[in-house]
Amino acid sequence: MKNRQFSVGMDQRIIDIDLTQVTIMAELFPVPKLIDSGQLKVSDIHTIHWETAGNPKGKPVIFVHGGPGGGTSEDTLRFFDPEKYYIVQFDQRGCGQSTPHACVEENTTWDLIADMERIREHLNIEQWQVFGGSWGSTLSLAYAQSHPQRVTELVLRGIFLFREKEMLWFYQEGCSRIFPDAWQPFYEHIPEDERHDLMTAYQKRLFSDDKAVQLAAAERWSVWEGSTCHLYPDLQHIEDTAEPEFALAFARLENHYFMNKGFFEHENQLLDNCDIIADIPTIIVQGRYDVICPVESAYELNQRLNNSELVIVPDAGHSAFEPSIAKALVDATNRFA
């Protein structure tokens, strides 16, 4: 990868080195050893996978993954100092190691909030920090507004408020003008007479009775998002999003939530309820060039909160694993530790 050089003022020159995966991981803590893990039965249908790591006597924090349908990994534990934090993470209904896979029945925002409470009670945690990005920021806000007494702080990234304009931007218009090459396979998978409503067209295919039809649509859906996550394209990430089992859960769950408008009563619900959480210490980390969740939503959220700080990262897109975003998130958790 080549270095980029540009001038600042008259006399100074800055070398801005293109960032690699090694740099990304250097910003994060080492993968901590798991303390415990398990499967928690949360309904007649669903069982969710949970894990704990770090210091059992440390500050409790719950990691809320994105998607919906994204799942967790060992790397999602690395935003927290394992000597200072008691880290909890879980795979939301229908994804990761939770079962049944890609199931949308009994799978709503409010079911997931109830699951978070079940995990908290199961682990005998009184209060915890809530950390979430993208859809994880949506669910974190909804959880905090439902249970503000349980939240010590919020660390949020890539704000998504589930408004119609946000969904249309990414799945119908707007973002396609920035990534026309990545958009074309997603768009052309749908016949011309259905392209006026791509989410509905994909819903028909993702929930087809034909598994091959499901998988073909899921790959196009998942790879479209994977192709737009990073300021510098991450080819390995794009390849990972095409993996059939991941793509199927990711695409079906996202489409299910989007078609149901997040199961909110109205599209401004999260902003309108900000008075409930206005005084909870909050750090919002947002990539300036995030095309999946544009900065406008983070800016509006920050204006609604009394005790929040908005960190706009100037050299990043959407992914939590972009170097400058990873550093800002680690700075946030260190401050709250």
Catalytic residue among 222, 318, 319, 324: 318
Residue 58 — φ and ψ, nearest 5°?
-85, -175
User: Does the active-site annotation cover 137?
Assistant: no
Count the alpha carbons within 13 Å of 78 in the hemisphere toward its beta carbon.
Answer: 16
How open is the CA angle 79-85-87, to the nearest 5 degrees? 70
CB 137 within 8 A of CB 283: no
Catalytic residue among 65, 91, 290, 319: 290
The dihedral through the CA atoms of 188, 199, 298, 90 has a sign that is negative
CB 92 within 8 A of CB 104: no
3 state SS of 15? strand
Could you identify the residue written with the tokens 């309820």? Answer: 273
Catalytic residue among 49, 65, 115, 134: 134
The closest of 174, 200, 196, 176 to 186, measured between CA atoms, is 176
Could you identify the residue written with the tokens 């069982």? Answer: 47
User: Does the active-site annotation cover 290?
Assistant: yes
| Rg over CA atoms, the chain | 20
Length of the chain (residues)? 337
The closest of 75, 33, 15, 108 to 319, measured between CA atoms, is 75
User: Does the active-site annotation cover 266?
Assistant: no
Instruction: Report the catalytic residues.
Output: 134, 290, 318
